[in-house]
Amino acid sequence: YVAHDYSPLSPATLPDRLGGLAVLGDRVGPADSWQVREVGDGNLNLVFIVTGSAGSAVVKQALPYVRLVGESWPLPLSRSFFEYNALIRQEARDPGSVPSVWHFDEVQAIVVMEYLTPHVILRHALVEGRRVEGLAERLGQFCARTLFRGSDLSMTAAARKADLALFAGNVALCDITENLVFSDPYFDAPMNRHTAGLDGIVARLRADLSLKVAAQHLKMAFTSRAETMLHGDLHTGSIMVTDTETKVIDPEFATYGPIGFDVGMLIANFLMAHLSQPGHEARAGDRAGQQDWLLSVVEGIWETFVAEFSHLWRTERRGILYQASLYEDQGHALGSEQALSDVIGRIWVDTVGFCGVEMHRRILGLAHNADFERIADEGRRAACEARALAMGRQLMVGAASMPGITALTAMARRMD
């Protein structure tokens, strides 16, 4: 180990390597009291839980390759820098929404942060049929606050442009999204896979020209419309919960993009949780209550997002967009309210489209989700996934004519 060279940690080496860090001494206790476990279950990074006589911490370290695939797929360590920068901005924009960050080491690609306990990954809780109090409100607020406060609606032009430039460096992680989300699902890309039994449906989707155009329109929006700092990977595997608390983790995909991207990806994951529930039923109808709750979460996320975004619009619109003086000058006191409802309408159309594409890529692409994967019976899994594929297509092609959130949840109910 050379002091200025990157080297991956292991549970055996971590106390020696990080034992001198004051913040870990304070938070966890002396290094000779530490116990270290590696718990990373994600696709990309190492995650260590360090416990000692004074407390605990999480040490997240990037690897120079994609963990899920191996050294054959290199990925820059700089993703740790973007994760750190996103976490501190999310904490400032929505205090308490993310784990507290205690230390960042750029050379070692390490973020030291609060260990969330007894939190579990939301996706696993949903597969088990568990509910979380206040979930929709917390997530709707997180989206509204981080997305509004990272945009030209709120920031000074200089600060916003500096952040745009900073996060523009996250090229490799954006490239993953650009390919895996927006393109690979729609042709026979090498890393794709899908459940046996879906071949016919998959072939029809890949021959569907309107769908492929819709996917590329969404991709162009993602690559070119730098509206705000996105979390970039806001699915139910990036959320940790107790019965009453919700925290967001893992923003290494952060980049500037369209506001509707995070909201759409998030809602898609609740719709997939809903559509996968029948696959987890011991007896038909067992999960009907859970399904209703999941759709109430979808509605609650959007309704809270709109309410909080509107509140911020009315009270914190200090950026360079839609200035009140534009309207008040002409005596149109309600002009900025009209502009607000128009802006929310545009975000809604984006949200619906991104929601659809996320539903497709989780079934057709490389990265599948436990909601469907944990359905052991392939026939049952294929039946659930087929409904999600059909709904995803309707959302992508029909985004502009989707009237509102209750029409969207009604569509999900009709898919059953």
| Residue ranges binding ligand ADP (CB under 6 A) | 39-45, 47, 58, 60, 99, 113-116, 121, 249-250, 252
- To the nearest whole angstrom, how small is the minimum distance from the Cβ of residue 122 to ligand ADP? 10
Binds Mg ion (CB under 5 A): choice among 94, 184, 250, 262: 250
40 is in the binding site of which of Mg ion, ligand ADP, none (Cβ under 5 to 8 A by kind)? ligand ADP
Torsion 366-371-374-375 (CA) sign: negative
Q: With CB under 5 A as the rule, give the number of residues binding Mg ion.
A: 5
Which one of 43-51, 156-164, 341-349, 379-387 is the stretch in contact with Mg ion (CB under 5 A)?
43-51
Tell me whether residue 211 or residue 275 sits nearer to Mg ion (CB atom): 275
355 is in the binding site of which of ligand ADP, Mg ion, none (Cβ under 5 to 8 A by kind)? none
416 is in the binding site of which of ligand ADP, Mg ion, none (Cβ under 5 to 8 A by kind)? Mg ion
Does 308 sit near Mg ion (CB under 5 A)? no
User: Residues 73 to 102: which contact Mg ion by CB under 5 A?
Assistant: none
191 is in the binding site of which of Mg ion, ligand ADP, none (Cβ under 5 to 8 A by kind)? none
Binds Mg ion (CB under 5 A): choice among 42, 150, 260, 356: 42
Tell me whether residue 45 or residue 170 sits nearer to ligand ADP (CB atom): 45
Rounded Cα gap, residues 150 and 215, in angstroms: 25
- To the nearest whole angstrom, how small is the minimum distance from the Cβ of residue 213 to ligand ADP? 31
Q: What is the DSSP string of 76-89?
A: -TTHHHHHHHHHHH
Tell me whether residue 234 or residue 364 sits nearer to ligand ADP (CB atom): 234
Residues contacting residue 209 through CB under 8 Å, at least 6 positions apart = none
Q: Is 290 helix (H, G, I), strand (E, B) or coil?
A: helix
Rounded Cα gap, residues 358 and 265, in angstroms: 6
Please, how many CA atoms are within 13 Å of residue 34, restricted to the half-sphere of its CB? 29
- To the nearest whole angstrom, how small is the minimum distance from the Cβ of residue 211 to ligand ADP? 29
Short-list 107, 256, 237, CA closest to 174 = 256
Tell me whether residue 50 or residue 395 sits nearer to ligand ADP (CB atom): 50
* C-alpha dist (Å) from residue 181 to 73, 186, 190, 210: 17, 9, 14, 17
* C-alpha dist (Å) from residue 290 to 234, 267, 270, 280: 21, 16, 11, 11
Residue with the shortest CB distance to ligand ADP: 42
Short-list 58, 54, 44, 62, CA closest to 7 = 62
- To the nearest whole angstrom, how small is the minimum distance from the Cβ of residue 111 to ligand ADP? 9
Structure tokens at 202: 């998959």
User: Residues 372 to 411: which contact Mg ion by CB under 5 A?
Assistant: none
Which one of 36-44, 199-207, 254-262, 298-306 is the stretch in contact with Mg ion (CB under 5 A)?
36-44
Rounded Cα gap, residues 59 and 118, in angstroms: 17
99 is in the binding site of which of Mg ion, ligand ADP, none (Cβ under 5 to 8 A by kind)? ligand ADP
- To the nearest whole angstrom, how small is the minimum distance from the Cβ of residue 234 to ligand ADP? 12
Residues contacting residue 129 through CB under 8 Å, at least 6 positions apart = 277, 280, 287, 290
Main-chain dihedrals φ then ψ at residue 111, nearest 5 degrees: -115, 125
Q: What is the DSSP string of 337-394?
A: HHHHHHHHHHHHHHHHHHHHHHHHHHHHSS---HHHHT--SHHHHHHHHHHHHHHHHH
- To the nearest whole angstrom, how small is the minimum distance from the Cβ of residue 253 to Mg ion? 7
248 is in the binding site of which of ligand ADP, Mg ion, none (Cβ under 5 to 8 A by kind)? none
Tell me whether residue 63 or residue 396 sits nearer to ligand ADP (CB atom): 63
Would you say 66 and 238 are in contact if contact means Cβ atoms under 8 Å apart?
A: no
Does 416 sit near Mg ion (CB under 5 A)? yes
- To the nearest whole angstrom, how small is the minimum distance from the Cβ of residue 179 to ligand ADP? 18
Which one of 11-19, 49-57, 244-252, 299-307 is the stretch in contact with Mg ion (CB under 5 A)?
244-252
Would you say 6 and 32 are in contact if contact means Cβ atoms under 8 Å apart?
A: no
| Residues making contact with Mg ion (CB under 5 A) | 42, 44, 250, 252, 416
